Amino acid sequence: MIRVTVLGGSGYVGGELLRLLLAHPEVELKNVVSRTHAGKYLFKIHPNLRGRTQLRFTPLDITAITQDCDLIFTATPHGSAMNYIPQILQQGVRVVDMSADYRLKSPQDYVAWYGWEHKSPALLAEAVYGLPELHREKIKNARLVACPGCMAAATILALAPPIKYDLIEEKRVVVDLKIGSSGAGAQPTPASHHPERAGGVRPYKVVGHRHIAEVEQELNLLGSKPVTVSFTPHAVDMVRGIMATAHTFPLRPLALPDVWKVYRDYYSKERFIRLVKDREGVYQLPNPKILAGSNYCDIGFELDPHINRLLIFSALDNLMKGAAGQGIQCMNIMSGFNEAAGLGEPGIHPV
């Protein structure tokens, strides 16, 4: 049993962490921090938790929340967690950071991609990128785990096998993503306002998206040559979910059995990766609709002989395998628990 605190518990990722932690067989939830909602019951902000807990949000006090605590999730806005994490680590408490603050290894990358100077650059080398399928052994002994961005997670998981096995052109990778509104966070903006978003498909940050930095960083650890990724997201009319479609170009002739073998070999022992390529039914390829509330990433593929193209499809729930579920998975690994503890639920169907 470990004692856990959530710092930044009022947002969508924070709420999903609370839902999972309250049901986790090996966790005692000690504190949930929110400066805006301090004193309120958790269920006043997260109504799905009514009847599950009588905990209230607490104000931010690092000294107080690190007492009697083994691990803290930081689910604060980008650029905030680095103000608190060094002090938390000094108190001997481990951290799983849900923000972007420690995902990148180079301080210069934060200037280039986020537009700010990192306040604790010495910790970047120590932080472990929280994608178990790539870094499980490092996560086991980490003090600080930096969970991936949701679209980055979908993209990396789709591309890792063909990059690892040098199947595709490393400079010709084009990824098109569709993401639900919860990916924009709990605070509405004009672009996320329902009348503007509903019924539409809105491309945004069509070049230079921040997640490119972590995608290329992680894929470049796998391949024999530097990888360059083109990456364009679209806001679509769903609440949860990401659908990534990667257009790649094989270096040699491939048949479907070759692709199956690569993905089966790479993910054969991965509890939360499912390969989806069926010949019948509605869901013949991955679809985020059936993954809501689950920690699975579904991956499928198709060959296009017309132009020698390998299409790769990757779907996940952005609040689960793209955020809170991934964080719980990392916590389980860090704590020596069953990796699937608290994460066994399948997606909901229909939604």
Buried b / exposed e across 306-321, counting CB within 10 Å, b at 16+? Answer: eeebbebbbbbbbbbb
- Say which residues have a Cβ less than 8 Å from residue 195's Cβ, sequence separation at least 6: none
Q: How many CA atoms lie within 13 A of 42 on its CB side?
A: 26
As a dihedral over the C-alpha atoms of residue 94, residue 134, residue 102, residue 177, rounded to 10 degrees, the angle is -130
* Gap between the Cα atoms of 163 and 155, Å rounded: 12
Identified catalytic residue from 69, 147, 150, 297: 150
Distance CA 286, CA 302 (A): 12
Residue 330 bears catalytic tag: no
Q: Which residues of 134-143 are buried (b: 16+ CB within 10 A; e: fewer)?
A: bbbeebeebb
Alpha-carbon gap, residue 15 to 69, rounded angstroms: 19
Q: Which residues are tagged catalytic?
A: 150
